[in-house]
Amino acid sequence: MIEVWGRRSSSNVQKVIWALGELGLDFKRHTVGGSFGGVRDAAYLKMNPNALVPVLQDGDITMFESNAIVRYLGARYGEGTLRPKEPKALALAEQWMEWQQLNVVPHISVIFWNLVRSPAKQRNDKAVADANSKLADILPIADRALASAPWFAGDRFSFGDIVLGVLYWRYSCLDCKKPDTPNIKRWLEALKQREPYQKWVMVQAGHNIAEWNAHEKAVG
């Protein structure tokens, strides 16, 4: 059976378990990382020397890096579904996955860490304002792409929707000013109809550090 190591509250773990859910694959998950620890144990470091989650084990493959894991799952179990078969759709899915990771994730992460994961006294308001202003420039790029197609790869959901799908849920729950992106809004509503997204991603992570800590413990 496929095994995944990583706490459910981790966005990078969520990419993997959401992808597994989309593929209808059973898996066993081990809760490690964050307040649960375990990522510096010798046995874990053998699987992921970075001491980070997630790790995936499937037969003779043990691997880390969430986006690479999602790509592996697509190649092995989701040819034509999670991983588009047609070269143009595959190219678009790959393009947007890279773009989301490099351009959007860092800024949403800054906002999330400051507003939710840090005690109020340590909040860096300037960093939050800078990240918000960068997102106001960057998110319209994704919005324009979604004006001509329902999903990032075209007509069908694919792994090109996974990276932003996880982070955008968090962002949508945050109390901060957001750019007007009607096509992203429609895309998010479509994601919300997907059962694996509801199960693994649409979890309220809280609005401050106390709520986050309670959330992390509760979801495991």
Binding flag, residue 34, ligand GSH (CB under 6 A): yes
| CB 148 to ligand GSH: min, Å | 29
Q: CA 133 to CA 104: how far, in whole Å? A: 12
Strand order in the sheet with 61-64: 27-30, 2-5, 55-58, 61-64
User: Binding ligand GSH by CB under 6 A: which of 2, 4, 29, 33?
Assistant: 33
Minimum CB separation of residue 92 from ligand GSH in Å reads 21
Whether cis (ω within 30° of 0) applies to the bond prior to 119 is no
Query: Going by C-beta distance under 8 Å and a sequence separation of 6 or more, which residues neighbour residue 170?
Result: 11, 108, 112, 205
Q: By rule CB under 6 A, what count of residues binds ligand GSH? A: 13
Q: Which is nearer to ligand GSH, 54 or 165 (CB)?
A: 54
Part in contact with ligand GSH (CB under 6 A); list of ranges 6-14, 141-149, 154-162, 211-219: 6-14
Q: Is 130 in the site for ligand GSH (CB under 6 A)?
A: no
**Options 58-66, 141-149, 172-180, 195-203: segment touching ligand GSH (CB under 6 A):** 58-66
- Read out DSSP for 72-90? HHHHHH-BTTTB-SSHHHH
In degrees, rounded to 5, the angle at the alpha carbon of residue 9 between the alpha carbons of residues 6 and 12 is 60
Is-contact 201 165, C-beta < 8 A?
A: yes
Sole binder of ligand GSH in the list 3, 65, 94, 130 (CB under 6 A): 65
**Dist CA 204 CA 143 (whole Å):** 24
Write down the least CB distance from residue 124 to ligand GSH, Å: 19
CA distance 16 to 56: 8
53 binds ligand GSH (CB under 6 A): yes
* Binding status of residue 66 toward ligand GSH by CB under 6 A: yes
Give the residue, chosen from 2, 4, 8, 10, that forms a contact with ligand GSH under the rule CB under 6 A.
10
Cβ atoms of 6 and 57 closer than 8 Å: no
Q: Which residue in 8, 11, 128, 170 binds ligand GSH (CB under 6 A)?
A: 11
Residues at the contact surface with ligand GSH, assessed by CB under 6 A? 10-12, 33-34, 39, 52-54, 64-67
